[in-house]
């Protein structure tokens, strides 16, 4: 257990676990009504090492509560991020009505005077009962709309962001246990408004 946190520091750690976003957690816990998004980001990213250690502790608790280790969660995210969408839905091309002058074949003819071999595009959806592995994790269901069937997939970009965020958090705790005063100073100097810079400095020192 990290050294004792202030009430706001503990709330920040709890909100971070709940929201997964440092800036959003900062807005909820601290008075950021007059701060710019950049100032909030600077303040939220410069919390003291003991707060990050508390966040790591809470993350471990959450993983244990759901009987999943950090490695297992990262593995699931990695599978979603790298799954091949073509295992679920594909754009295929078949011969157009003119390719073989009525003699239908699946592959378009490059000599066709109408489509030039491009054929006609259509969507093919896999029987989702047959999905396995990463494709099964990527698949998030389907619904019927007035335009047809809509296949829903989990966000692969978000999965990558989750992996990057998790790695960055644990690396920061491991390799940067103390507040980097030079980095804080450089960040504050980049803020033109002196009142805003003073506000950011004070908010950082409270974390």
Tens-place pLDDT, residues 59-72: 888 777 776 677 88
Distance CA 84, CA 152 (A): 14
Place of tokens 């800036």: 23
**Helix pair angle (194-206, 181-189), 10° resolution:** 150
Minimal CA–CA distance to 10: which of 39, 68, 53?
Answer: 53
When pLDDT is cut at 50, 70 and 90, the band that residue 103 belongs to is: low
Q: What is the mean pLDDT of residues 78-96?
A: 91
Grade residue 42 by pLDDT with cuts at 50, 70 and 90.
confident
Sequential DSSP letters for 181-202:
HHHHHHHHHT---HHHHHHHHH
More confident residue, 205 or 83: 83
pLDDT at 149 over 50: yes
For 143, the 3-state DSSP assignment is strand
Q: What is the pLDDT of residue 186?
A: 56
- Cα gap 191→202, rounded to integer Å: 14
Of 196, 203, 197, 206, whose CA–CA distance to 43 is shortest? 203
Confidence (pTM) = 0.48
Q: What is the pLDDT of residue 205?
A: 53
- pLDDT attached to residue 151: 93
Q: Tell me what the pLDDT averaged over the chain comes to.
A: 79
With tokens 């250690």, the residue in question is 53
pLDDT at 43 over 50: yes
- Please calculate the CA angle 76-162-204 and round it to the nearest 5 degrees: 150
Q: Which residues contact 114 (CB under 8 A, 6 or more apart)?
A: 96, 97, 98, 99
2 vs 145, higher pLDDT:
145
> Is 74 in contact with 25 (CB distance < 8 Å)?
no
124 in Cβ contact with 87 (< 8 Å): no
Q: CA angle, corner 175, sides to 70 and 2, nearest 5?
A: 70
More confident residue, 195 or 9: 9
pLDDT at 190 over 80: no
């Amino acid at each position: 257990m990290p050294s004792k946190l202030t009430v706001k520091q503990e709330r920040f750690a709890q909100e971070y676990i709940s929201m997964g976003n440092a800036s959003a957690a900062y807005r909820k816990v601290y008075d950021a009504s007059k701060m710019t998004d950049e100032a909030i980001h600077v303040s939220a990213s410069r919390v003291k090492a003991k707060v990050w250690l508390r966040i790591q502790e809470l993350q471990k608790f959450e993983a244990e509560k759901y009987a999943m280790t950090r490695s297992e969660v990262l593995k699931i995210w990695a599978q979603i991020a790298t799954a091949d969408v073509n295992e679920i839905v594909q754009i295929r091309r078949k011969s157009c009505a003119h390719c073989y002058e009525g003699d239908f074949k699946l592959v378009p003819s490059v000599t066709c005077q109408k489509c030039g071999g491009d054929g006609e595009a259509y969507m093919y959806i896999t029987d989702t009962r047959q999905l396995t592995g990463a494709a099964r994790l990527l698949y998030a269901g389907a619904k019927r709309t007035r335009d047809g069937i809509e296949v829903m997939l989990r966000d692969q970009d978000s999965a990558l962001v989750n992996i990057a965020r998790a790695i960055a958090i644990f690396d920061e705790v491991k390799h940067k246990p103390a507040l980097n005063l030079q980095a804080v100073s450089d960040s504050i100097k980049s803020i033109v408004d002196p009142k805003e810079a003073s506000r950011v400095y004070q908010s950082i020192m409270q974390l």
